[in-house]
Amino acid sequence: MEKKDGAYKAHVLVLPFPLQGHINPMIQFAKRLASKGLKVTVPTTISATMSMHIGSGLVDVEPISDGQDSVSQNDNLAFLADGSGTLTKLVEKYEASSDPFCCLVYDSILPWALDVARQHGLYGVSFFTQSCAIDAIYYHANQGHLTLPLAAAAAISLPGLPELGISDMPSFISEPKSYPSILEIVLKQFSNLEKADLVLVNTFDKLEDEAVRWMEGIWPVLTIGPTLPSMYLDMLIEGDKSYSLNLSNPNSDLCKKWLDARQTASVVYVSFGSVANLEADQMEELAWGLKESNNNFLWVVRESEHSKLPSKFLEETIEKGLVVTWCPQLEVLAHQAVGCFLTHCGWNSTLEALSLGVPMVAMPQWTDQPTNAKYVEEVWGVGLRVKVGEKGVVRREEMEKCIREVMEGERGKAIRMNASKWRELAKDVLAEGGSSDKNIEEFVARATFFNASRSPPRAE
């Protein structure tokens, strides 16, 4: 957003790692900054940009190289490991223009970006796209406060967090041998964090009160979430209704028409996000559990997962169910026909359901999802977590039971009341003067001050 005299308060570079769950919160934060008078540029790797559906918005999107740059190659792994060369080129290109960056907000899983910021005299700000609880757990693991592998029976007590069992821990911690390279990445977030000027977290104070206080004791933390488009919460940014960058094409018209024809709170919306894959036998149990629950359902089954649907399932459920490859999730969750969200508990999906007051059936798969599911059920009281049966599979009877309980049961009533309470709190924090709004204002003030008083590049 331009100031009246045509100048901006400051030019900020916001750098997400190009996965849907990282792009969404960082783009939304970028839009908030733009609405408060900053100019914002968001670089995304060329390979990701090529497969994105870019909506119009308040921010400039700048394609950069990840070393692969073909339409089919979208793994971005080289960039994740070290994209300093590419980022340096971008920063220097703007440095030579009349519109240099003063600040870099980088995804916390790209810690090398802070070194680039430092070398070019930029204000360096780390952005955590996951919850404070998760950040705290990874921090303690990095500090050696948690000895891996964890003892199976032990209850884990960490400052600011409820007591956690091993099955509540992020999968990279409960099963450190499962994805050692990702474990290394999440621990590395803390390798140089003490040098960051600010640490932003996509959460809000009341949601994780004690964990936020604990984090504030270590780093200069500002909570700025939940990062949903403004029209779903505070309505302060006119026309901000979607995340703008979609890595897949949503079946919007079809979903809307189908939901419009369903009764209020009669639909179970099912999605496992953009990455998680279910085993074929788990898919089968889920499919029949959904059918047996006898509710309407809208299920997102990504193209790559389609072959795992049981044969005849689509024919047998044609009256009650719709299966799509991707949907406009926010529109779906905000639709009055939706009565509950059967979710993998990715952090964005969790925040979206909380912010829109939708009860959840939590079926975590991996990464931070088990911890989020624990909070959904036991800390915020906004859903039930399915129990995992033999061979790690959730049986159809368990699915059916949890769905029915949330949709029609006694616990469902209490869950719906809590869900409404959290929706109101989420709206409050982003409304003018709310905690996240104040923190975003503080960020804008700091970036503006830094821009006005820029020092020469700081040496390492």
* Residue 314 binds ligand UDP, judged by CB under 6 A: no
Distance CA 298, CA 296 (A): 7
The residue range among 69-77, 80-88, 346-354, 378-386 that interacts with ligand UDP, by the rule CB under 6 A, is: 346-354
- Token digits of residue 205: 């104070």
Reply yes or no on whether 145 is catalytic: no
Say which residues have a Cβ less than 8 Å from residue 177's Cβ, sequence separation at least 6: 149
Distance CA 337, CA 320 (A): 13
Of positions 41, 131, 230, 349, contacts ligand UDP by CB under 6 A: 349
- Annotated catalytic residue, options 66, 107, 135, 368: 107
Of positions 8, 29, 269, 347, contacts ligand UDP by CB under 6 A: 347
49 contacts 31 by C-beta, under 8 angstroms: no
Say which residues have a Cβ less than 8 Å from residue 430's Cβ, sequence separation at least 6: 226, 230, 233, 234, 236, 436, 437
Of positions 83, 111, 225, 346, contacts ligand UDP by CB under 6 A: 346
The residue range among 53-61, 73-81, 219-227, 340-348 that interacts with ligand UDP, by the rule CB under 6 A, is: 340-348
> Which residue's CB is nearer to ligand UDP, number 12 or number 276?
276
Question: Where are the alpha helices (H) located in 325-395, listed in sequence order?
Answer: 329-334, 347-356, 369-374
195 contacts 124 by C-beta, under 8 angstroms: yes
Distance in Å, CB of 39 to ligand UDP, minimum = 25
- Annotated catalytic residue, options 22, 120, 335, 344: 22
> Which residue's CB is nearer to ligand UDP, number 59 or number 146?
59
Of positions 21, 57, 229, 383, contacts ligand UDP by CB under 6 A: 21
> Which residue's CB is nearer to ligand UDP, number 105 or number 324?
324
Say which residues have a Cβ less than 8 Å from residue 213's Cβ, sequence separation at least 6: 160
Q: Footprint of ligand UDP on residues 203-262 (CB under 6 A)?
A: 250
Q: Footprint of ligand UDP on residues 34-53 (CB under 6 A)?
A: none
Is 156 in a helix, a strand, or coil?
strand
* Residue 348 binds ligand UDP, judged by CB under 6 A: yes
Reply yes or no on whether 335 is catalytic: no
Which H or E run includes 104? strand 103-107
> Which residue's CB is nearer to ligand UDP, number 219 or number 366?
366
Of positions 46, 327, 334, 373, contacts ligand UDP by CB under 6 A: 327
Of positions 300, 360, 376, 426, contacts ligand UDP by CB under 6 A: 300
Say which residues have a Cβ less than 8 Å from residue 37's Cβ, sequence separation at least 6: 1, 3, 8, 9, 444
For strand 11-15 and strand 39-45, is the pairing parallel, antiparallel, or unpaired?
Answer: parallel
> Which residue's CB is nearer to ligand UDP, number 221 or number 228?
228
CA dihedral angle for residue 25, residue 28, residue 34, residue 36, rounded to 10 degrees: -90
User: How are the residues of the chain apportioned to helix, strand and coil, as percentages rounded to the nearest 5?
Assistant: 45, 15, 40
Of positions 44, 49, 271, 355, contacts ligand UDP by CB under 6 A: 271
* Residue 352 binds ligand UDP, judged by CB under 6 A: yes
Distance in Å, CB of 273 to ligand UDP, minimum = 3
- The residues of the shown chain that bind ligand UDP, judged by CB under 6 A, are 20-21, 24, 250, 271, 273-276, 300, 326-327, 329-330, 346-349, 352
Q: Which residues are catalytic?
A: 22, 107
